[in-house]
Amino acid sequence: MKILAVDTEVVRLPLEVPFRDPRGELTFVDNILVRARSDEGPVGIGWAFSLNGRNTASLKAAVDELAAGLVGRDPLRLGEVQDALRQVAFNVGPGGLITMALAALDVAVWDLRGKLLNLSIADLLGRRRDRVPTYASQGLWRNYGPAELASQAAEYVALGFRAVKLRVGGETDPDREVERVRVVREAVGWGVDIMADVNQGWTPWRAIKLGRRFQEYGLYWLEDPVPMLDLAGSAEVARALDVPVCAGEYHYEVDGLKRLLDGRAVDILMVDLLRVGGITGWLKAAALAEAYQVPVVSHLVPEVHVHIFAAIPNGLTVEYMPWSFGLFKNPPRLVDGELEVPSGPGLGLELDEDRIRRHRV
């Protein structure tokens, strides 16, 4: 049993809800789609992605180079596969595009393992539940005004979401920041959780000042309030606020997340699938956080996280961000505000080959 070949391609999908960041409007996502082909027939799939073509060529090149380490390997011998990938990346990793590329390949190997064993990844990991909590995150962007925030938040509740996340940190007037949180709370009522994401936009002083004003609206968490490298500042904010501080998505590998936990810089640890090195890295991060009695949440890629959160004991909620749903005929289903965990082998996903052909770059 071995991997015969690894194929990659770029599939460019339009964003259902475009948004703006400091560098301009974001309208599409490039998926670097990986297919790990086995000598027994099944094909494992994984993917990495970039927004608006930023670093797409570099990321695909990294995936292609690391993929050479998979050819000839037995996908059931995960430790050996991981060692091979790390050896190929030895001189240029960990971190950055290398870790992201490794993550895409790691997911493909996990998917292949599940298919070869006829088990879902959730079952391979020791499934605890068949649905996992999720929250709407594909809107409520920083460039939305109060009326648009309120309208879209109400739409998400109508779709069945029990939690929504808005972006803050773009206003110079603190009163306008508070207004954003207020209108979303009024739109969704008190039976729905709301989160606020700063995306590293504040100093500790501003985070504490505004965080205290946000608290009256019952935030579920305040996300990335200060720059990622300011661990002492994040810890200061966490100590000062009643609302939990959530961070971690910008940190690479388990070692980066450990520094957050060691410094008591987070109340909730957010783990990014690509930056932690795939499912294998994610499981290490979840176990580490459990030892610190810290819950974990996911960043992007719900198609994979739904399996992880079906099994781990300390997972709170999965971010619903359907940027790559267009790759599949059967992405995870939203049922009563939760994501249904697929039961098919591996990820339980079927590629939409017609759409992939139309959007291949």
Per-residue pLDDT of the chain (361 residues), as tens digits, is: 999 999 999 999 999 989 887 667 899 999 999 999 999 999 999 999 999 999 999 999 999 999 999 999 999 999 999 999 988 887 777 899 999 999 999 999 999 999 999 999 999 999 999 999 999 999 999 999 999 999 999 999 999 999 999 999 999 999 999 999 999 999 999 999 999 999 999 999 999 999 999 999 999 999 999 999 999 999 999 999 999 999 999 999 999 999 999 999 999 999 999 999 999 999 999 999 999 999 999 999 999 999 999 999 999 999 999 999 999 999 999 999 999 999 999 999 999 999 999 999 9
- Given this model, what pLDDT does residue 263 score? 98
Is the Cβ–Cβ distance between 50 and 69 less than 8 Å?
A: no
Rg (alpha carbons) of the chain, rounded to whole number = 20
Contact between 180 and 195 under an 8 Å Cβ cutoff? The reply is: no
Q: What is the DSSP string of 147-184?
A: HHHHHHHHHHHHTT-SEEEEE----SSHHHHHHHHHHH
Report d(CA 305, CA 288) in Å as an integer: 17
| Helix 96-117 / helix 56-67 crossing angle, nearest 10 deg | 50
Could you tell me the CA-to-CA distances from 86 to 42, 70, 130 in Å, in that order? 24, 11, 33
Same fold: 3-118 with 123-353: no
Distance from CA of residue 197 to its chain's centroid?
Answer: 14
Helix-then-strand count for the chain, H and E: 13, 13
Q: What value, to the nearest 5°, has the Cα angle with vertex 195 and ends 190 and 198?
A: 145
State both tokens at 323. 């940027």
CATH 3.30.390.10 fits 3-118, yes or no: yes
| Whole-number pLDDT of residue 22 | 66
Domain ranges, ordered by start, for the chain: 3-118, 123-353
Superfamily of segment(s) 123-353: Enolase-like C-terminal domain (3.20.20.120)
Q: Can you read off the two tokens belonging to residue 254?
A: 């388990």
pLDDT at 332: 98
Q: HEC string of 227-260?
A: CCCCHHHHHHHHHHCCCCEEECCCCCHHHHHHHH
Q: Which residue has the tokens 């110079």?
A: 172
Largest CA distance in the chain: 62
* Cβ neighbours around 100 below 10 Å, total: 26
